[in-house]
Amino acid sequence: MPPTRDQLEVDVLFVGAGPASLAGAIKLGELANAAGRALEILVIEKGAEIGSHGLSGAVVDPRGFDELLPGWRDSAPVESPVTSDELWFLTTTGKLKAPFTPPPLNNHGKYVASLQKLTKWLGQRAEEAGAQVFPAFPGQELLWDGDRVAGVRTGDKGVDHEGKPKSNYEPGADILAKIVVLGEGPRGTLAKQATAKLPLSEGREPQVYAAGVKELWQLPDDRFKAGAVVHTLGYPLPVETFGGGFIYAMAGNVLDIGMVTGLDYKNPTTDPHNELQRMKEHPAIRKMLDGGKMIRYGAKAIPEGGLFAMPRP
């Protein structure tokens, strides 16, 4: 006998509390308030708290924030304005500094920030705009009304590794919504269900991915001023493998260092995590980390297919 599930009805449901979903919830709440309409907006997030899946140390373009939340600079938890930009080509033992910064890597006027901190702050702004934001609610299954997505079933709690109920079993709830927005990231569980049932990828290029692996290092001194940005090409990746490194100086003498490796690599023994370790052993990088201590680390999938791989309604 199937379990009895609670039902919740809302107007708009955002799945995944990342920057895109939260920005959407903020804007929608503001439009509803301006029109004098009561709108039930719900954002659910599988992470234990808002921001726990925001892994990127990032260079943030302020234009979107300027339009969405004027005055955001007074309260947003950014680390620093970008103070310098460099592009290095790494050889096995040395480096060549580009004589100029290519336009796509020119970050003048942007900010170095922690995506985790920014996402947590955006969650608070979404609640102020009238949205409800619920962490620890993973979306498990799409609910359908014919070919229309009618809602989302959240994950059951209290199940073992085989999916069988334990003594503390609690069935997930069915959240019904007029509009469901999937903001789950590059390989979302529900997005894959929608793509399997609806021809969203018909006529599109196949999506390709990269893996971004990063570490945060606490340095013993202020050898790098907050806001310094370095991107690298070349070593340790071979010519035929897409990718490169990034180094961002954060506040408090913290260095954000990482490596992006395209997952269409030709060599089957390629390991994105190992590529970062090899990058750290390069003489130019090793001295940057000398005397420091790694304090956090993580990895994230990155979609790289671009416009022609994006699903279309």
| Phi, psi (degrees; rounded to nearest 5) at 41 | -115, 125
Instruction: Out of 180, 197, 214, pick the residue that ends a domain.
Output: 197
Give the predicted TM-score (pTM) of the model.
0.91
pLDDT tens-digit series, residues 255-279:
999 999 999 999 999 999 999 999 9
Q: What is the mean pLDDT of residues 222-241?
A: 94
Domain total in the chain: 2
Tokens found for residue 1: 């006998």
Same domain for 265 and 186 = no
Same domain for 100 and 143 = no
Q: What is the mean pLDDT of residues 40-44?
A: 98
pLDDT tens-digit series, residues 242-252:
999 999 999 99
114 occurs within a structural domain: no
Mapped onto helix, strand or coil, the DSSP state of residue 22 is: helix
- Top-confidence residue, 253 or 162: 253
Same domain for 285 and 136 = no
pLDDT at residue 1 greater than cutoff 80: no
Tokens found for residue 273: 């995590």
77 occurs within a structural domain: no
Same domain for 131 and 38 = yes
Tell me the C-alpha to C-alpha distance, in Å, between residue 99 and each of 88, 96, 116.
Answer: 10, 9, 33
The predicted pLDDT at position 256 comes to: 95
Helix axes 115-128, 19-35, angle to 10 degrees: 20
Same domain for 142 and 34 = yes
The predicted pLDDT at position 58 comes to: 85
The CATH number of residue 151's host domain is: 3.50.50.60
The predicted pLDDT at position 163 comes to: 78
The predicted pLDDT at position 233 comes to: 95
pLDDT at residue 194 greater than cutoff 90: yes
Same domain for 261 and 298 = yes
- Top-confidence residue, 73 or 3: 73
89 occurs within a structural domain: yes
Bridge partners, 311 (sequence order) = none
243 occurs within a structural domain: yes
Mapped onto helix, strand or coil, the DSSP state of residue 217 is: strand
Tell me which residue range forms the domain holding 183.
7-55+119-197
The predicted pLDDT at position 52 comes to: 87
Bridge partners, 197 (sequence order) = none
The predicted pLDDT at position 269 comes to: 93
Same domain for 147 and 103 = no
Same domain for 269 and 166 = no
142 occurs within a structural domain: yes
pLDDT tens-digit series, residues 10-28:
999 999 999 999 999 999 9
Same domain for 278 and 216 = yes
Same domain for 99 and 21 = no
pLDDT tens-digit series, residues 128-179:
999 999 999 999 999 999 999 999 999 888 888 887 888 888 888 999 999 9
Q: What is the mean pLDDT of residues 68-89?
A: 94
Same domain for 256 and 127 = no
151 occurs within a structural domain: yes
Same domain for 278 and 172 = no
The predicted pLDDT at position 29 comes to: 97
Within the chain, residue ranges assigned H as helices are 19-35, 63-68, 115-128, 189-197, 272-280, 283-289
74 occurs within a structural domain: no
The predicted pLDDT at position 4 comes to: 84
- What is the spatial order of strands in the sheet that 84-90 belongs to? 95-97, 84-90, 228-234, 243-250, 254-262, 209-218, 293-303
The span from the CA of 200 to the CA of 152, in Å, is 19
Cβ atoms of 43 and 73 closer than 8 Å: no
Instruction: Out of 197, 230, 250, pick the residue that ends a domain.
Output: 197
pLDDT at residue 37 greater than cutoff 80: yes
Residue 300 — very low, low, confident or very high, per pLDDT cuts 50/70/90? very high
The predicted pLDDT at position 164 comes to: 84
The predicted pLDDT at position 25 comes to: 98
Instruction: Out of 178, 197, 216, pick the residue that ends a domain.
Output: 197
71 occurs within a structural domain: no
The predicted pLDDT at position 239 comes to: 92
pLDDT at residue 114 greater than cutoff 80: yes
For the beta carbon of residue 257, count every other beta carbon within 10 angstroms. Answer: 26
The predicted pLDDT at position 38 comes to: 92
The predicted pLDDT at position 251 comes to: 93
The span from the CA of 130 to the CA of 36, in Å, is 12
Residue 101 — very low, low, confident or very high, per pLDDT cuts 50/70/90? confident
